[in-house]
Amino acid sequence: MIVERPADLRRKKFFAHGFMICFLILIMFPFFVIVSISLREGNAMSSASLVSQAGWASLAKLLPQNPTLEHWYLAFGLDYTRADGTVVEPPYPVMLWMWNSIKIGVIAGIGVLSVATISAYAFSRIRIRGKAALLDGLFLIQMFPTTLALVAIYAIFDALGEVSPFLGLDSHVALILIYLSGVTLHIWTIKGYFDGVDTALDKAAAIDGATPWQTFRFIFLPLAVPIMAVVFVLAFIGFINDYPIASVLIRSESQMTLAVGSRLYLNEFRYLWGDFAAAAILSGLPITVVFLIAQRYLVSGLGDGAVKG
Amino acid sequence: MTVAMREVGAGPALPRLALVGAGTLGLLWAAYYLYALQQPLFGAVLLAIACGFAVIYGANRFYGARFIFPGVAAVLTFIALPIGFTIYLGFTNYSSFNLLDFERATEVLLSRGAADPATEQPFAVVPEGEQYRIWLPDSGLLSAPVPLTGPASVALTPAAAPATLLAARDAIRLRDGLQALTLTTPDGLAIVNSGLRTFASVTPEYTRASDQILRRSSDGASLTADHSTGFYVAADGTQVPPGWRVGIGWGNFQKVFQSEGIRAPLLSIFLWTLFFAGTSVVLTFALGLALAVILQWEHLRFKAIYRILLILPYAVPAFISILVFRGLFNQNFGEINLILEALFGIRPTWFTDAGLARTMIIIVNCWLGYPYMMLLAMGFLQGVPEDHKKAAALEGASSMRVFFTITLPQIIPPFLPLLIASFAFNFNNMVLVLLLTSGGPDRQGTLVPAGQTDILASFTYRMAFDDSATQFGLAGAITLMIFLVVATLSYVNFVALKRAASRKSARSA
């Protein structure tokens, strides 16, 4: 382990890289194939053509034979005119779904961020009676996934919809309200960050006569900008990825978010594999990139925030 | 650590109190409004919020609580309340048969009527300034003018055919007003709008005999409201839908434990859920840890590239990757079967064979979950002191031995809470099941839709939302049982976390 023979080391390196590359090829397979499918003609390979060519030769089918941008036009919501003159219309409003997702994600993200930051500051710095019990309670409640209360959520918003459709099923407001409940995890993350801030800062502020609110507003808030950015991105991605709640509350096609709408593509009766591939890349790519940038902070945030009790 | 509280209340009190007062009044008005609309539960919730708001922002004593009130209120309203409401629903018969409340169900029954074919006749609408007349060409009757804006009752008199009639399309636009209109013929017969183009005398199928009893017009039988089953029942015991929502005590739980068609699938779904969650955690942990160990090896080059490529599955939104796998695994034109057939000549039936479907779900879950474990493991591996490993290596231990006797025992304890959390997550990982297999292939001989890959959460989801005969109450009852499991898991996790935290602080002290 400390001193290794060069031959041994070379062999080990060879195996390590070999393993990594084989594993990566396996893991990356869906990414390669989905790109190829998005450029392929038609929406599904006919099973007849599959059978006709057995053996290695049929593997060539994984690559597009006559590459076409048809699926990409449709994903962007544009009509596509095929070579024979037929015009294909987009099957689903992907761009609208994306806009719905982004709108809901941003509004709910801002809501969660403001509530979480203020609460985290109070939990970290202000003496409140019963704080420890409250923190433990929040922690326990947060472990109950909201998805388990779907029946009640449906019943509640179904009833509220009779008061005002604005608050009922199929309304983005309802979805945003429910998403606000995801605040607890983020309170812990930001609290972990605030706990690490030197107490000399707020003592100095208190001596200068600042109220706790002023201390928060002028000292902690500016300090928290980086962690707030991370929490916002995480909350945003979480909301965009939500399927169960959105699928229960949103029923009409024009109100759907991406997560709910994407499912329509692979319906047994209308199987749009090629159209789905292009739409999936189009909508998945931005989220993936944002996540890759934010992920460095994710794990430290999750680990620290949860453990620093 | 704690900010001194002496300046509390130093700010201008009057504007703040005015604002708090206005906010409280607004909330109270909304609470009253909801209560007036027969939503007492939401009224009560808003009332509680209004009181909390007034006390916490009005009184100086609760200065600190002002910061956490929004968060706590959100959690209580949107997590605690739905959980409580779910438990309550578990004790009711809420389903597609018992969807409404008593008043609404009675209204629906009372509004049912049978049109008398003898009096049924077409009509036309005659515009007259802001008002309208109804013209019945078959009997040559014309009504008095009526604004058609709300319930109205006007008399018909014989008249000559009017010159201008509204086009059918415009008449349909007045439908709401027409439906609220009752016309009285010269011989005293009341006729109402009975279809898009017709008026007829309608005999109601049911009439109210008393507060709790309806009379059926066809045979004169009286139907009594039965508040234990939530239906109107005739003397011979037949129930007349629609019913309403009533509490049925432990009825749903009895059904779950006594009816073979529910108990049998529920039990095997529970076992599969445990197996699925356990296997997923073990496999993703093993895979993630192995990759993390390789990535930490000092002699490995291109670490940054490997790392970013390896976490890619984690970065792609799960709903997209799961659907991609759904397509790739497709039995008939999926790319995975294309390759398997080319290489080995097999075409596994991933979606119709129970064992293969379960294998597929675990494979996909490993793909989705290993990067998270790898990222965590990389963090924890850095915490293992290098000299421990060196000492072991000097003693002649192989690198495998070093890993299993030095490294693994040191990273398991801090990892434990995260593994429990991961187990709890997979225990309820309904997104994966719903999007990949929708629970299928179906089990045979069950009373409620249940599939071979259904986990408890997706089973209840489908029971409540996927089928035409939705059973919210039964789903609520099963959810309550899931709650018990999740509560146990949460508590265990909570204790494990506290231990990890105290160990960490003990070490750093």
CATH of the domain at A291: 1.10.3720.10
**Is residue A35 over pLDDT 60?**
yes
B142, B127 Cβ separation under 8 angstroms: no
Evaluate whether residue A53 is within a structural domain.
Answer: no
Question: What confidence tier does B310 reach under pLDDT thresholds 50, 70, 90?
Answer: very high
End-to-end CA distance of chain B: 18
Provide the shortest C-alpha distance from residue A232 to chain B (in Å): 16
Provide the shortest C-alpha distance from residue B228 to chain A (in Å): 21
Collapse the DSSP code of A2 into the 3-class scheme (helix H, G, I; strand E, B; otherwise coil) and give the result. Answer: coil
| Four-CA torsion B31, B34, B38, B43, nearest 10 degrees | -30
Q: How does pLDDT run across B130-158, given as a tens digit for each residue?
A: 888 888 888 888 888 888 777 788 888 88
**Is residue A306 over pLDDT 50?**
no
Provide the H-helix boundaries in A40-181.
47-52, 70-75, 94-125, 131-142, 150-163, 172-179
Q: What average pLDDT does the segment B44-69 reach? A: 85
Q: What average pLDDT does the segment A11-28 reach? A: 91
DSSP A83: T
Q: How many residues does chain B have?
A: 509
Q: How many residues does chain A have?
A: 309
| Cα–Cα nearest to B371, from B290, B324, B310, B431 | B310
Q: How does pLDDT run across B94-133, given as a tens digit for each residue?
A: 888 887 778 888 888 887 777 777 778 888 888 887 888 8
- Average pLDDT of chain B, as a whole number: 84
Distances (CA, A) of A267 to A58, A165, A271, B326, B409: 26, 29, 5, 11, 48
| Cα–Cα nearest to B261, from B449, B454, B433, B90 | B449
Q: How does pLDDT run across B381-406, given as a tens digit for each residue?
A: 888 888 888 888 888 888 888 888 88
For chain A, positions 40-69, list CB contacts with chain B under 8 A. Answer: 44-47, 50, 54-59, 61-62
C-beta atoms of B68 and A123 within 8 A: yes
B32, B43 Cβ separation under 8 angstroms: yes
DSSP B222: E
Q: DSSP states of B361-406 as a string? A: HHHHHHHHHHHHHHHHHHHHHHTS-HHHHHHHHHTT--HHHHIIII
Q: What average pLDDT does the segment B371-375 reach? A: 91
C-beta atoms of A283 and B74 within 8 A: no
| Cα–Cα nearest to A97, from A276, A288, A289, A293 | A276
Spatial neighbors of B504 by CB under 8 A, at least 6 apart, are A307, B414
For chain A, positions 279-298, list CB contacts with chain B under 8 A. Answer: 280, 283-284, 287-288, 291-292, 295, 298
With a pLDDT cut of 90, the percent of chain A lying above it is 21
C-beta atoms of B72 and A116 within 8 A: no
Architecture (CATH level 2) of domain B257-508: Orthogonal Bundle (1.10)
Point out which residues pair with B198 in neighbouring strands.
B122
- Domain segments of chain B: what residues? 13-90, 102-108+206-244, 113-204, 257-508
Mutate to test the interface with B, among A101, A151, A153 (most CBs of B within 10 A): A151
| Cα–Cα nearest to B424, from A183, A49, A135, A147 | A147
Architecture (CATH level 2) of domain B113-204: Beta Barrel (2.40)
C-beta atoms of B323 and A276 within 8 A: yes
C-beta atoms of B79 and A16 within 8 A: no
| Cα–Cα nearest to B448, from B79, B95, B88, B66 | B95
Evaluate whether residue A216 is within a structural domain.
Answer: yes
CA distance A228 to A193: 10
Q: When comparing pLDDT for A303 and B450, which is higher?
A: B450
Output phi, psi for B208, to 5 deg: -80, 120
**Is residue B9 over pLDDT 50?**
no
**Is residue A301 over pLDDT 50?**
no
Q: What average pLDDT does the segment A232-259 reach? A: 90
Q: How does pLDDT run across B401-458, given as a tens digit for each residue?
A: 888 888 888 888 888 888 888 998 899 899 999 999 988 788 887 878 888 999 999 9
3-state SS of B4-72 is CCCCCCCCCHHHHHHHHHHHHHHHHHHHHHHHHCCCHHHHHHHHHHHHHHHHHHHCHHHCCHHHHHHHH
Spatial neighbors of A60 by CB under 8 A, at least 6 apart, are none
Among A16, A20, A152, whose Cβ lies nearest the Cβ of B89?
Answer: A152
Question: What pLDDT does residue A112 have?
Answer: 93
**Is residue B3 over pLDDT 60?**
no
C-beta atoms of B323 and A152 within 8 A: no
Residues in A touching B81 (Cβ below 8 Å):
152, 156
Mutate to test the interface with A, among B333, B460, B503 (most CBs of A within 10 A): B333
To the nearest 10 degrees (0 to 180), the angle between helices A131-142 and B472-508 is 130
**Is residue B11 over pLDDT 70?**
no
End-to-end CA distance of chain A: 38
Provide the shortest C-alpha distance from residue B182 to chain A (in Å): 27
| Cα–Cα nearest to A172, from A108, A112, A122 | A108
CA distance A264 to A252: 12
CA distance A139 to A119: 14
Neighbouring C-beta atoms of residue A35, cutoff 10 Å: 14
CA distance A280 to B319: 10
Q: DSSP states of B153-209 as a string? A: EEEEEE-PPPS----HHHHHHTHHHHHTEEEE-TTS-EEEE-SSSEEE-EEESEEE-
Residue A258 half-sphere exposure toward CB, CA atoms < 13 A: 32
Question: What pLDDT does residue B328 have?
Answer: 92
Question: B406-445 burial by CB neighbour count: b if 16+ within 10 A, else e?
Answer: bbeebbeebbbbbbbbbbbbbbbbbbbbbbbbbbbbebee
CA distance B223 to B211: 11
Q: Which residue of chain A is at minimal alpha-carbon distance from B500? A: A307
> Which of these ranges, A298-302, B282-286, B358-362, has the smallest mean pLDDT?
A298-302
Q: For residue B16, with 0-12 CB atoms within 10 Å meaning exposed, 13-18 middle and 19 or more buried, which class applies?
A: middle
Q: What average pLDDT does the segment B211-230 reach? A: 80
C-beta atoms of B63 and A212 within 8 A: yes
Q: How many domains does chain A have?
A: 1
Q: What average pLDDT does the segment A10-21 reach? A: 90
Point out which residues pair with B154 in neighbouring strands.
B183
CA distance B381 to B297: 11
Q: Which domain holds residue A190?
A: 94-307
Q: How does pLDDT run across A184-230, given as a tens digit for each residue?
A: 888 888 888 888 888 888 888 889 888 888 888 888 888 888 888 88
Question: What pLDDT does residue A53 have?
Answer: 53
B438, B425 Cβ separation under 8 angstroms: no
CA distance B455 to A92: 30
Question: What pLDDT does residue A298 have?
Answer: 59
Q: Which residue of chain B is at minimal alpha-carbon distance from A1? A: B393
CATH superfamily of B13-90: MalF N-terminal region-like (1.20.58.370)
Helix (H) or strand (E) holding A66: none
The pTM (predicted TM-score) of the whole model is: 0.81
CA distance A150 to B466: 13
Residues in A touching B2 (Cβ below 8 Å):
125-127
With a pLDDT cut of 70, the percent of chain B lying above it is 96
**Is residue B369 over pLDDT 90?**
yes
Evaluate whether residue A48 is within a structural domain.
Answer: no
Q: When comparing pLDDT for B249 and A23, which is higher?
A: A23
**Is residue B173 over pLDDT 50?**
yes
Question: What confidence tier does A104 reach under pLDDT thresholds 50, 70, 90?
Answer: very high
Q: What average pLDDT does the segment A17-43 reach? A: 89
CA distance B144 to B156: 7
C-beta atoms of B418 and A303 within 8 A: yes
Peptide bond into B70 cis (omega under 30): no
Q: Is the dihedral of CA B400, B406, B411, B413 positive or negative?
A: positive
Give the number of beta-carbon pairs within 8 Å between A and B.
Answer: 313
Helix (H) or strand (E) holding B280: helix B260-296
Question: What pLDDT does residue B278 have?
Answer: 95
**Is residue A1 over pLDDT 50?**
no
Please list the helix, strand and coil fractions of chain B in percent, rounded to the nearest 5, in that order: 60, 15, 30
Question: What pLDDT does residue A300 have?
Answer: 52
Q: Is the dihedral of CA B255, B261, B264, B270 positive or negative?
A: negative
Distances (CA, A) of B10 to A245, B16, B17: 44, 12, 13
Q: What average pLDDT does the segment B269-275 reach? A: 93
Evaluate whether residue A225 is within a structural domain.
Answer: yes
C-beta atoms of A180 and B461 within 8 A: no
Residue B332, token pair as written in the block: 């008939």
Residue identified by tokens 């019943």 is A155
Q: How does pLDDT run across B66-102, given as a tens digit for each residue?
A: 888 888 888 888 888 888 888 888 898 888 888 777 8
B323, A265 Cβ separation under 8 angstroms: yes
Q: How does pLDDT run across A58-70, given as a tens digit for each residue?
A: 677 777 777 888 8
- A94 and B CB contact within 8 Å: no
Pairing, β B190-193 against β B181-184:
antiparallel
